[in-house]
Structure 1
Amino acid sequence: MTTFIFDVLNDLKNQNKNLSELTFILPSKRAGLFLKHQLYKVSNQTIFSPTIISIEEFVEELSQLQTISNTELLFEFYNTYIQLTKKEETDTFEVFSKWAQILLQDFNEIDRYLIPQKNIFNYLSAIKEIENHHWSLEENQTTFIKNYLSFWNKLLTYYTHFTQLLIGKKIGYQGLIYRAAVENLKSYIQDNNKKQHVFLGFNALNTCEETIIQELLQNNLAKVYWDIDATFFNSANHDAALFTRQHQKNWTYFKNNPFQWITTNYSKEKHISTFGIPKNIGQAKYIGSLLKNLQNQNASLQNTAVVLGDENLLIPVLNALPDNIDALNITMGFPLKSIPLASLFESLFYIHKTPSNTFYFKDVVNIISHQFIRPLLFVENTDYASKIIETIDANNIIYVSAQRLKEMAPKSVSIIDILFSNWDKSIDLALNNCFQLILSIKNHLDENKASQLLSLEYLFRFNALFNELSRLNSKYQHIKDISALFSIYKELLSSETLDFQGEPLQGLQIMGMLESRVLDFETVIISSVNEGVLPSGKSNNSFIPFDVKLENNLPTYKEKDAVYTYHFYRLLQRAKNIYILYNTEADVLTGGEKSRFITQLELENIHKINHQIIAPQVPVIEASLQTIEKNDKLLEALVDVASKGFSPSSLTSYIRNPIDFYYQKILKIKEHDDVEETVAANTLGTVVHNTLEDFYKPLISTFITPEIIKNLKAQIEERVSFHFKNEYKEGDITKGKNLIVFEIAKRYVSNFLDLEIQDLNAGNQIKIVAIEANNEVLVNFPELDFPVKLVGKVDRVDEHNGILRIIDYKTGRVDQSHIEIVDWEAITTDYKKYSKSFQVLTYAYMMHIMSHIKLPVEAGIISFKNLNAGVLKFAKKDKSGNGAKKDFLITKETIDNFEVELKKLILEICNPQIPFTEKEV
């Protein structure tokens, strides 16, 4: 396969041109490298290398202006803006930067296409006057209306002042440089009237480029080589040749000179396959599979390119590459914003952009847990990061101050200061903190430098970025707060990349669409060929309306689409093996619809297209319930649990799911106590239980009266507040949802006391027997050779009209049906129906064994969400005859029946032959 570059060089050689004396001008620097590599193929002797430059370098040389970054352009433009705008009408730099970016793009386009500035800005101003004539004709215009119309009237003034300011400093944006280059073209021609220029590989040209190239052609100082195929050029509707057809038709030079070149490469035999693949990750994985297959055919993957339509696929594709690729070159840089350090500074700017004395605990935990920060908080064998997190969790701290953090980590005061102190005082101090942080991380990484080279490279690039921020702030002093600094930081970060090192002329090439200009490959894999990606569609980020662009021959989305059409088809022209991938799934903004390019390929009917939909191989994994066999070590742990005591809650945990029992009682795995931003249900329950314990414990052995209970009501506020502070620690209950939960807790206690008063006023006698009574009893199991203990705490035991009642409090809703039983065997198997019955019967069983109660007794639950139902009593239902008979008394028969099921349950838990088997949820 011959390349376009080789064909150009060969043609020049055949014309006996001295290659060393030529100046080659290409669309990109990368293409120049490939051109230099091809020189030896056409030269049979040693020669001096010709001048090879990109069009941007050539134009910059012509203009005698130097390009500056978009970010610095914003600062320069703000100088113009504040000079020409009344102080009271001036936007802050942060607000200004949002709309000024768009205006600078418009200035750029106007200059690149040599539009008369006065004409277009006056035209825009007139349009806005007409659009808003009902505003502009009003006698009493509001300040907003005046400012809006004033903005459009000032555009020409802004432009004129700004461009003069830049020219005076010998700097400029691309469009201004192009316009200046055109103005200097005559003097350049006079000074270089023997210099020969060769333009090759161009397609879409702005007016400045057209003017420069045509002028050099007319003066016999240049040759131009187009790379377009006859298939596209001869089709009036094919956008791949939209621009070259216009050049051939409109340029005076081509009326008397040949148009080079229209080739016939596209119609040659090609193997084209299109693959519809779900999701971007699917495309990346499939690219890896394709490369692996290609490796088996051509081990070096020489002359193979992976062209990423969506450059965000770079990292997934790199991770999907076969392990044994020898040579690899990546033309795109690794985005600096994707580096772990970027997330750290993002978090720091986020917490400091609004001045505050305290920080949200999740933000603090996020920062101190960061991979670059955590090692800095490890001092003298103490992990202060963990210590801070544990303190925040234990004390339920939702907002924490820098001073409090220093108290938690006394040996890490300096790093805490850098991270959390002094950011809001000045921009210089904030930047200094960033530099100090980078230096602290560097000092730590230097301890193990050999294994941290990549991290040190990250640090170096971020240090350079903050140096640029510091320079811009010192030079212009437009950044007034952290929020504006954050905005400029993100602007700089978005354009920075970490360049890969590789051999640009060997092995597999991974590139973006624009990097493929002028280059030819035998095998091409193109990803993300979806509408909205290739081409990008109708995006219009401009102040200039569509019709005004058409009127002034400015490019619109149609021209932008035509540019990408050309790049896409040019990749296909000389390639033999082409693999086109697209995403079949609808993503947030793009994807799901294959590109019109694929449809066009199919409709052309020039090549046979192999179209496949690829689905990932998803293995069928049969869900299996987890089973833990009881080995000797596990049985030892069970003996230990049995000797310490089975509680009703641990037994119901086993009934619900034996695996839960295994995790909690055998492995001792506890749920992590997270910070409660809003009061959790268990905290509410604890507060209510503890408040009632305070009220009723002094009344043990006392017959309570309505007066006693009424006196308790006066203490509700103080006791509930006390227990909330005790349980919820430093959490705030004075506002929001927490205040509502606090009021609910008071209401629960108050309603309970009202229910008690109502019961007493009805003539019932209530004597408090025990409150929060601890029960502990050994149970005899002849089948086991170790002791088994039952333990549990009963919320309340009282006598109601002489009948003993065992009562458990529940802050959730419980209904009568939840504590009724029909079938004794089900009490240890059906958690959902019978867990409440099992719990109260376990209490009754323990108290009976301990001889604390005489049967018969009652047992039940008081549900704070169902208080009107009173005490919900345990009942045994006997479904015989036409109705269900309920027995609310717990008798010796009840206890004996329950004991049978309880022993069966405990023997099952302790049986070495029965594993802990997970239940289906």
Structure 2
Amino acid sequence: MQQSFLEYVLHDLQQKGVSIPECTYVLPSKRSGTFLKKHMAQIIGKNIFSPTVLSIEDFVTQISGLSQASNVDLILELYSVYKKTEIKEHDDFDTFLKWGQTLLQDFNEIDRYLIPPNDILNYLSAIKELNHWSMQKDKSDLVKNYLALWNNLSTIYGTFTKTLINQQKGYQGLLYRWAAKHMDTGDSIFQEAPIVFIGFNALNTAEALIIQHYLDSPSNHIYWDIDAYFLDSSMHDAGLFIRNYKQTWPYYQRNDLEGIHHNFLSPKKISITGVPKSISQAQYVGNLLAEIQEATPDGIHDTALVLADESLLNPMLLALPSSISKVNITMGFPLNKTVLYSFFLSFLDLQLAQSEKGWFFEDVLTFFSNPFCLLLSSSEKVDALSSIANDIKQHNRLYLNHPYLERYSAQSELLGLLFPANPTTPLDWIKRCLQLIQKLKTIGQEQNDLMELEYLYRFHKLFNQLKQHIESVNFIKQLKSVKSFFKQLAALETTDFIGEPLSGLQIMGMLESRNLDFETVIITSVNEGILPAGKSGNSFFPFDVKREFGLPTFKEKDAIYTYHFYRLIQRAKNIYLVYNTEPDVLEGGEKSRLISQLLTDKNISRYISHSIASPELKIDASPIPQIEKSNLLVEDIRTFASNGFSPTAITNYIRNPMDFYKKNILKIYDTEEVEQSIAANTFGTIIHDSLEVLYSPLINKVLEKADMESLQDQIPKVVSSQFAATLPGVDINKGRYLLVYHVVLKYLQNFVDMEMVQLQKHEVKILALEEKYESTLHIPALDFPVKLKGTLDRVDQVDGTIRIVDYKTGRVEPSHVKIKDWDTLISNYDKSKAFQLLCYAYLYFSKHGTETLIAGLYSFKNLRHGFLQFSTSDTLINPETMRTFEKYLHQIILEICDPKVAFAEKES
């Protein structure tokens, strides 16, 4: 590989006669300092004491004499200052967190760029005064309070910065302003060794002032990493800042710009590839790395994988080929991306969700489903959480209260931590989290899970930090404030990966690549909105105010990323740019303008190839899913047949043979779930059971009007008792179940009213309710017994004719119980209601041998149609009808039992 930028700097210093070990080196980042020391060791070739190598932030911090305060300290201090301002109504801490971080960022910017704070903050206040929404001459209290914040910004800034300086600490911008103000301090610190500034680009005003101050000394040097191709073009953003320094710095009136190169137009391979979605990018890069490794095994050690979108780190790690043995990851993994974070956040949400009724089942089940919750519960002698989860589903418990939980708490210490008896305070929650960490630590040590133990250690530190801060202030009293605070802390904290920084594949973010050169560079997510990032709203200063006062806008930030992009590829020989062809709102826009710029640059276009990578799609005609009947399956079918076919089971087969196989043979039922609004089958159960309770005293009795009037009075009490039996965990006195309760009442009242009208013209006698029937079928082609079984909702006698009645709570149309073509009975599921009625009639005939009867149903959603009676050419069902039905019944059962006929999925 050709000479890197850092090697060039060291060789140039040698040629100038500068003693490399005696210099102080200032670079944009600590990472580039590590590589500088590596090259230094190679060039000098002997043991030396390492010279001072500083990042620009450490350099400025030493000059300022202040220490960097943590973000948490800054937020708490800023809120304390805000609370002391003369504003009538202050936001609570939770609300303040939503805008306090943005205000802190703005303070940071005006200090880094040495803007007179009073000027810009009073200017902003005046703008808010002009822009407020009230046009009335006399402002309301709401408007006055809104404007009071902006009018007090200058006071808040002054008090805040003064407090921090008195404590000998500050945020980054304050350190920069203080250092620029006290550069004489730096003169005493760095007065002996020559200072070499290396590889800077976009300097803030404070940095530019400090660097120019040190460049007044002839022994100090500055090297820019810039290609002449970008510097000489007045339109190219990659050279925007350095061109400006060359024109405006007095230093360059007597000195040449050092660090200009001519590498960008040298022969190279630039491969631009569009890949659909983020995970596909990771998979594509994984395959690409495998190819690089296979082609030149040593080449992977001079390869950088730059993630423009750092959220791609986790899928990228999973996609790395196993052949790559050494990987160094510069970026840390944020704690808020871990499963452990979701565990603690879910635990906090569980406490926040507690109401007078207790804990809502969804919040409980969501928390219980977290892997760490399952781990904790399974490690106890009794897995109480699984027992509770099963009980919630079986008994439809919508809320869990303390009397209920006390049944299990004696068996489980964990329950006492998760479901405290008293309201949870912020400190209570933190202490419980620390106790949970200790339990998880014990489990992690037993399982030797080093990664999880590292995460636990980080969270242990975080909770102790949180505890310390909450104890030191008096305004964090609500759990919702702790939630916002915890989320901010977890977003700022990272777990660092341990690796060898100078060998193996280098995975980094865009900013970590500063000053570093690699032969092969892979950059992912080269999309608009990611690279460059584009506009962002994390500032109270409008665009025109930033331009007026010299603060950077999104245009300057775009130029920064343009420089990093081009600097990274200018010396590389193999460049792979990968972008997302299917972006959405959260993942950035179309392919980056940087790609378009490369594609339209005639001077380098001969080195570029552009393609779209997508998985190969083969659309084959999918075979119809089917299950061949093995000997074991045939045996299961025989067992099922001997136990008895129900009408529902046979109609399941008619609808879809695969459904029959899954539900009736394999016994695979729908997942048991808690019903927030009543399920159709539960609704039907309550209707059926209520009718059975109501009409049971009237069996073998001719119905009279007085009986119906008595039933009307009993309906509310009976329905209430059926709800209690079927859904013991619900409250029918409020909410949606109150509505369902009244719907059931209305259905039953309408049915009894209809029955009362019928009694005026007909004599009705109840013969049986919910009576179970069973009949053995004689099918000559089968050498094993087959039964038909079913439960008849009601059998009565109307004017001397036997009537079989089925209740349906869903909507049934009259056409569903009429048969014109008998073949449709076992081929068309729409006729399933007719099939069921004939099954019930067949069972009744088999037992009682009556000459004729009628069969039909009541559809409670369609009661206006009255009794929907089965009919063919005749409304009466007679022995001839039964013989015809028996033929079709045997035919469908023979098909089910035939070993040669597979269970096949029926197309809908």
* SS of equivalent residue, structure 1 residue 798: strand
* Contact map agreement 2:705 2:756 (CA 8 A) in 1: yes
Distance 1:624 1:511 in 2: 47
For residues 277-356 of structure 1, the aligned pairs below 5 Å read 277-300=275-298, 301-353=300-352, 356=355
* Alignment CA distance shift 1:666-1:328 (3 Å): same
* Alignment CA distance shift 1:309-1:162 (3 Å): same
* Alignment CA distance shift 1:866-1:400 (3 Å): same
The equivalent of 2:192 in structure 1 is 194
For residues 433-582 of structure 1, the aligned pairs below 5 Å read 433-448=432-447, 450=448, 452-582=449-579
* Cα shift readout 1:9-37 (whole Å, capped 9, x = no counterpart): 00001111111110000000000000000
User: Would you say 1:759 and 2:751 are equivalent positions?
Assistant: no
* Alignment CA distance shift 1:316-1:621 (3 Å): farther
Distance 1:31 1:769 in 2: 93
* Contact map agreement 1:6 1:38 (CA 8 A) in 2: yes
Q: CA deviation at 1:815?
A: 1.2
AA paired with 1:248? K
435-444 or 623-632, which moves further after superposition?
623-632
The equivalent of 1:22 in structure 2 is 23
Q: CA deviation at 1:461?
A: 1.0
- Tell me the number of residue pairs that the alignment of Structure 1 and Structure 2 aligns: 903
Q: CA deviation at 1:889?
A: 1.1
Q: TM-score, normalised by structure 2?
A: 0.97
Q: CA deviation at 1:6?
A: 0.2
The equivalent of 2:75 in structure 1 is 74
Distance 2:34 2:189 in 1: 28
18-27 or 669-678, which moves further after superposition?
669-678
User: Would you say 1:871 and 2:839 are equivalent positions?
Assistant: no
* Alignment CA distance shift 1:134-1:335 (3 Å): closer
* Alignment CA distance shift 1:471-1:498 (3 Å): same
User: Would you say 1:387 and 2:384 are equivalent positions?
Assistant: no
The equivalent of 2:171 in structure 1 is 173
The equivalent of 2:105 in structure 1 is 105
Distance 2:865 2:148 in 1: 73
* Alignment CA distance shift 1:381-1:49 (3 Å): closer
AA paired with 2:181? E
AA paired with 1:258? D
* SS of equivalent residue, structure 1 residue 404: helix
Give the root-mean-square deviation of aligned CA atoms.
1.8
Distance 2:716 2:855 in 1: 30
For residues 396-415 of structure 1, the aligned pairs below 5 Å read 396-408=396-408, 410-412=410-412, 414-415=413-414
The equivalent of 1:588 in structure 2 is 585
The equivalent of 2:85 in structure 1 is 84
* Cα shift readout 1:107-147 (whole Å, capped 9, x = no counterpart): 11111111112222222223333445975x82x33212222
The equivalent of 1:4 in structure 2 is 5
Unaligned runs of 5+ in 2: none
* Alignment CA distance shift 1:905-1:182 (3 Å): same
* SS of equivalent residue, structure 2 residue 691: helix
For residues 643-658 of structure 1, the aligned pairs below 5 Å read 643-658=642-657
Distance 1:230 1:200 in 2: 17
AA paired with 2:440? I
The equivalent of 1:712 in structure 2 is 711
* Contact map agreement 1:584 1:592 (CA 8 A) in 2: no
* Alignment CA distance shift 1:375-1:277 (3 Å): closer
AA paired with 1:691? S
AA paired with 2:410? P
Partner of residue 597 from structure 1, selected from 589, 594, 597: 594
The equivalent of 1:276 in structure 2 is 274
* Alignment CA distance shift 1:78-1:690 (3 Å): same
Distance 1:590 1:338 in 2: 17
* SS of equivalent residue, structure 1 residue 887: coil
* SS of equivalent residue, structure 1 residue 589: helix
The equivalent of 2:663 in structure 1 is 664
* Alignment CA distance shift 1:134-1:464 (3 Å): closer
* SS of equivalent residue, structure 2 residue 234: coil
Partner of residue 163 from structure 1, selected from 161, 164, 173: 161
* SS of equivalent residue, structure 2 residue 323: coil
User: Would you say 1:627 and 2:614 are equivalent positions?
Assistant: no
Distance 2:870 2:271 in 1: 73
AA paired with 1:529? V
AA paired with 1:911? D
* Contact map agreement 2:353 2:359 (CA 8 A) in 1: no
Unaligned runs of 5+ in 1: 877-885
Distance 2:377 2:184 in 1: 65
* Contact map agreement 2:68 2:170 (CA 8 A) in 1: yes
* Contact map agreement 1:302 1:506 (CA 8 A) in 2: yes
The equivalent of 1:880 in structure 2 is none
The equivalent of 1:821 in structure 2 is 819
Q: CA deviation at 1:477?
A: 3.6
Q: CA deviation at 1:296?
A: 2.0
* Alignment CA distance shift 1:402-1:195 (3 Å): farther
Distance 2:705 2:481 in 1: 66
User: Would you say 1:360 and 2:347 are equivalent positions?
Assistant: no
User: Would you say 1:920 and 2:907 are equivalent positions?
Assistant: yes
User: Would you say 1:782 and 2:780 are equivalent positions?
Assistant: yes
Q: TM-score, normalised by structure 1?
A: 0.95
* Contact map agreement 1:845 1:895 (CA 8 A) in 2: yes
Q: CA deviation at 1:68?
A: 1.4
* Contact map agreement 1:336 1:493 (CA 8 A) in 2: yes
Q: CA deviation at 1:351?
A: 2.0
User: Would you say 1:799 and 2:800 are equivalent positions?
Assistant: no
* Contact map agreement 2:328 2:498 (CA 8 A) in 1: yes
AA paired with 1:213? I
* Alignment CA distance shift 1:830-1:26 (3 Å): same
Q: Percent identity?
A: 46
Q: CA deviation at 1:220?
A: 2.7
Distance 1:23 1:345 in 2: 45
* Alignment CA distance shift 1:901-1:133 (3 Å): closer
* Contact map agreement 1:424 1:481 (CA 8 A) in 2: no
Distance 1:421 1:676 in 2: 26
Q: CA deviation at 1:325?
A: 0.4
Partner of residue 898 from structure 2, selected from 894, 911, 914: 911
Distance 1:826 1:133 in 2: 70
Distance 2:301 2:379 in 1: 52
The equivalent of 1:683 in structure 2 is 682
AA paired with 1:910? C
Q: CA deviation at 1:868?
A: 1.5
Distance 2:531 2:637 in 1: 64
User: Would you say 1:728 and 2:715 are equivalent positions?
Assistant: no
